[in-house]
Structure 1
Amino acid sequence: MAKITKDMIIADVLRMDRETAPIFMRHGLHCLGCPASSMESIADAAMVHGLSVDALINDLNEFFAKKGE
């Protein structure tokens, strides 16, 4: 099972599973195709957009946990 952390790059998580895109979008990160997503950590993106990084990380890890069942 994948373990997502705050320091991971958004594009890397999307490469792990494209089905994570709606999770990012639900949390307010709509610019998944922008160049910053290939260099920006989840924590940095959440900070810039004023989002809860902990809630996003939790949802991403829940997604991967369910896929691993």
Structure 2
Amino acid sequence: MIERQMLIGEIIAVNPSLVDVLTACGMHCIGCPASQMESIEDACAVHGLDVDDVLAKLNEVGL
């Protein structure tokens, strides 16, 4: 299960298809090196996204 404190780099390393989910949610800077060390929660805050909605979409695909 993907949780809000997990780092973007961690989840993408385990399941690269999650890049598509994050991009569809509005996170278009996933390729940026700084984003790899950002938590899902922090990334959602920066992009003005609801973390619970993003987590639900990520967990539909899963790790």
Which residue, out of 17, 38, 41, partners 1:40?
Answer: 38
Q: Which runs of 4+ in 1 moved over 4 A?
A: none
State the 1:39 CA deviation: 1.2
Q: Give the length in aligned residue pairs.
A: 63
The gaps in structure 1 that reach 5 residues or longer are: none
State the 1:20 CA deviation: 0.7
Q: Give per-residue Cα distances to partners, 1:10-57, cap 9 Å, x unaligned.
A: 011100111111100011111111122121101001001101111110
Taking the aligned partners of 1:63 and 1:42, their CA distance within structure 2 comes to: 15
Taking the aligned partners of 1:56 and 1:36, their CA distance within structure 2 comes to: 19
The gaps in structure 2 that reach 5 residues or longer are: none
Which structure has the larger Rg over C-alpha atoms? 1
What is the percentage of aligned positions where both structures have the same residue? 41
